[in-house]
Amino acid sequence: MIRRIAAVAALIPAMLGVTSGAASAHPAPKATAAVVTLTYDASRAGQWAGALAQGAKNWNASVHNVQLKPASSPSSANFVYVATSGWPQTTLGPIVPGGNRGQVQLGQEAVDEGYDMTRIAAHETGHILGLPDDYSGPCSELMSGHGPGTSCTNAKPSAAEVAQVDRNYAQGAAAVSPKQHRIVIDAWPAPALAGAH
């Protein structure tokens, strides 16, 4: 009798066309009918060009409802990257086409402290897409920024971060509710050495 119950229980998923096992904690979001395209100007990004290209590539490979592309001219960009000597700072989005123009200041001080340029570029782009900082998060979370220290070079968003960005742009550009264009300043200080005074 127990064998028959076990056999029937094993057949139920097959009969229903489902697989057994745990479901994904973050199901893959489906693309909207109209994917939002955000254009950026990197003409003033200097040495950050390669890091920006990789950061945009990482976001484009992960999200479904928004894509990042270089602008055809600086004046047509939805947001701009600028190399600066200070700390990174960014307009908190989500930025939308036709809305207020966003700006990412790529601060050299973070690089001087030992942080990875591609992680910084991708992290700051996450702010443009509407993600806040979460410094207490692990290295696997891009928006944990400097929290995990200089050894963290992960420049790809986590599944939860991808899902949030896809939700931000799920209904297309017209439905996006931008935040009050405040500036997020990211000080990426190197962690203090144990026992240092």
pLDDT over 50 (residue 165): yes
**What's the whole-number mean pLDDT along residues 14-24?**
37
Return the pLDDT at 172: 79
Active-site residue identified among 113, 124, 141, 161: 124
Return the pLDDT at 110: 95
Active site residue 124: yes
Q: How confident is the model at residue 30 (pLDDT cuts 50, 70, 90)?
A: low
Which residues pair with residue 89 across a beta bridge? 105, 185
Return the pLDDT at 34: 83
Return the pLDDT at 175: 63
Q: What does residue 79 show for φ and ψ, rounded to 5 degrees? A: -155, 160
Q: How confident is the model at residue 189 (pLDDT cuts 50, 70, 90)?
A: low
Structure tokens at 184: 């997020």
Q: What percent of the chain has pLDDT over 90?
A: 67
pLDDT over 50 (residue 137): yes
Greater confidence (53 vs 178) lies with 53
Kindly report the average pLDDT of the chain as a whole number: 81
pLDDT over 80 (residue 25): no
Inter-axis angle of helices 49-62 and 117-128, to 10 degrees? 50
Q: What does residue 106 show for φ and ψ, rounded to 5 degrees? A: -90, 95
Q: List pLDDT tens digits, range 168-184.
A: 999 876 666 555 556 66
How far from the centroid of its chain's Cα atoms is residue 102's Cα? 15
Return the pLDDT at 20: 35
Return the pLDDT at 100: 85
Greater confidence (192 vs 184) lies with 184
Specify whether the CB–CB gap between 117 and 135 falls below 8 A.
no
Greater confidence (158 vs 12) lies with 158
Q: How confident is the model at residue 58 (pLDDT cuts 50, 70, 90)?
A: very high
Collect all residues with Cβ–Cβ distance below 8 Å to 133 and sequence separation of at least 6: 127, 143, 144, 145, 184, 186
Return the number of other C-beta atoms located less than 10 Å from residue 107's C-beta.
Answer: 24
How far apart are the C-alpha atoms of 36 and 80, rounded to whole Å? 17
Specify whether the CB–CB gap between 91 and 99 falls below 8 A.
no
pLDDT over 80 (residue 107): yes
Q: How confident is the model at residue 98 (pLDDT cuts 50, 70, 90)?
A: confident
